[in-house]
Amino acid sequence: MIIKPYNKNDIKKTKSNFFLLYGENSGHKDEIIFDFFLKDFSGENIKYDENQILENKEFFLETCLNDSLFEKQKIIEVSRVTAKLYEIIKDLINRKIYNKKIIFNSELLEKRSKIRQLFEKEENLVCIPFYQDNNFELYKIANEFFRKNTISISSENINLIIEKCSGDRKNLKNELNKILNFCLEKKKITRDEILKLINLYKDESYF
C-alpha cells in the first residue's frame, strides 16, 4: 500500500507493523519517523544497519519475533536497506508480530525493485516514497524558520541558501542551524555573511 508523506492522516490511521521509507530526501524521512513513530513514544527504539542483519540474521529475527503480548513496545529501524534483505523481509512479514513497528529505510529504489513492489502491492504493508523537495517547499520551511527565530532576511537571500541544498530539507536545516548559531546575538544577516556561512568548509575560522 502506497502512502504519500503529505497524507499524514493515512500514516496515523494505518495499523501496519511494516513500513518501507525509500528515496533521496533523508531530511523528510527523518521528520516522518520522528513525528509519527518516535515522538511521545515511551518504548524501546532499536536501530540496525543492513550489514548487521546480514551478519547475524537469527539475532535480528529473534528481536522481531519475540511475540509476548505483554512485552514493552518496540520500534525497529533498519537503515541502508537493499535487495539483499528481500528474502529476510518476505519471511518476516509472514510471521505474527506483536507490539512492534519495523521501519525499513532505503535510498532511491527503481520501480522494478522487488522490495518496493512487495510493499506497494500488499495491503498490510506501507510504502512511503520520498522525493526531493522543490524550491517552493524549501522556501516555506526556511521562511517559517526565520520568522520563528525573528531573523531579518530578504527573499533573495533565502533563495541563495536554498540553491545550496540540492532539494533535501536535511541539507537546508543544516544550513539554517549554521545561520541560527551565527545570529545568536544579532537579528539580521547580510548576503556576504550568508555566502561565507554556507561555504563554511572553505573557511572554518569564520565563526
pLDDT in tens, 62-119: 999 876 555 678 999 999 999 999 999 999 998 888 889 999 999 999 999 999 999 9
pTM greater than 0.85 (yes/no): no
What confidence tens digit (pLDDT) does each residue in 29-54 have? 999 999 999 998 988 899 999 999 99
Q: Decide if pLDDT at 178 tops 70.
A: yes
pLDDT band at 206 (very low <50, low <70, confident <90, very high): very low
Q: Which residue did the predictor score with more confidence, 49 or 201?
A: 49
Handedness of CA 32, 199, 161, 154 (dihedral sign): positive
Parallel, antiparallel, or unpaired for β 18-23 and 44-49?
unpaired
CA dist 159 to 80, 139, 188, 190, Å?
Answer: 31, 7, 16, 13
- Residues 130-144: what's their mean pLDDT? 92
Q: Decide if pLDDT at 203 tops 50.
A: no
Q: How many CB atoms lie within 10 A of CB 42?
A: 6
Q: Decide if pLDDT at 166 tops 90.
A: no
Return the residue matching grid coordinates 561555504: 199
Q: What is the pLDDT of residue 68?
A: 57
On whether the CB atoms of residues 164 and 171 are closer than 8 A, the answer is yes
Q: What is the pLDDT of residue 88?
A: 94
Q: What is the pLDDT of residue 204?
A: 45
Q: Decide if pLDDT at 125 tops 90.
A: yes
Amino acid at 119: F
